[in-house]
Amino acid sequence: MNADLTIKQAQEQVDEWIKTVGVRYFNELTNLGILMEEVGELSRLMVRTYGEQSFKESDKGKELSDEMADVLWVLICLANQTGVDLTDALQKNFEKKMSRDKERHQNNEKLK
């Protein structure tokens, strides 16, 4: 696996895996539900690692990087299914944030 994997390459590789190993994509609503499950698993681990809740036996062996990758995988699936180019979408999002939020955070007293 390429350490410098681009978002476009990731979308292509997920698509290839789904169409060969995974047989086909789950439908969009199923994948949305799976995304929520994966975000919940990430949240649970974050709360236990950085928050005040204690770990349970079922939390052992879980890694933040793996949970984040699970979220990213399903998000990529949804992007592929709905025709979203995540590279383009992220670039447009950066542009939006640079114009809309250019001074917003610097003027936020709560961040000082």
Core vs surface per residue 72-110: b (16+ CB within 10 A) or e: bbbbbbbbbeeeeebeeeeeeeeeeeeeeeeeeeeeeee
Instruction: Map out the domains of the chain as residue ranges.
Output: 7-85
* C-alpha dist (Å) from residue 41 to 56, 72, 79: 13, 13, 21
Instruction: Report the CATH superfamily, name and number, of domain 7-85.
Output: MazG-like (1.10.287.1080)
Instruction: Give me the tens of pLDDT residue by residue for the chain, a chain 112 residues long.
Output: 567 999 999 999 999 999 999 999 999 999 999 999 999 999 999 999 999 999 989 888 999 999 999 999 999 999 999 999 999 999 999 999 888 887 788 888 888 8
In sequence order, the 6+-apart residues with CB closer than 8 A to the CB of 95 are none
pLDDT of residue 1: 58
The angle formed by the CA atoms of residues 73, 69 and 9, to the nearest 5 degrees, is: 55
pLDDT of residue 48: 94
Please give the model's pTM, rounded to 2 decimal places.
Answer: 0.88
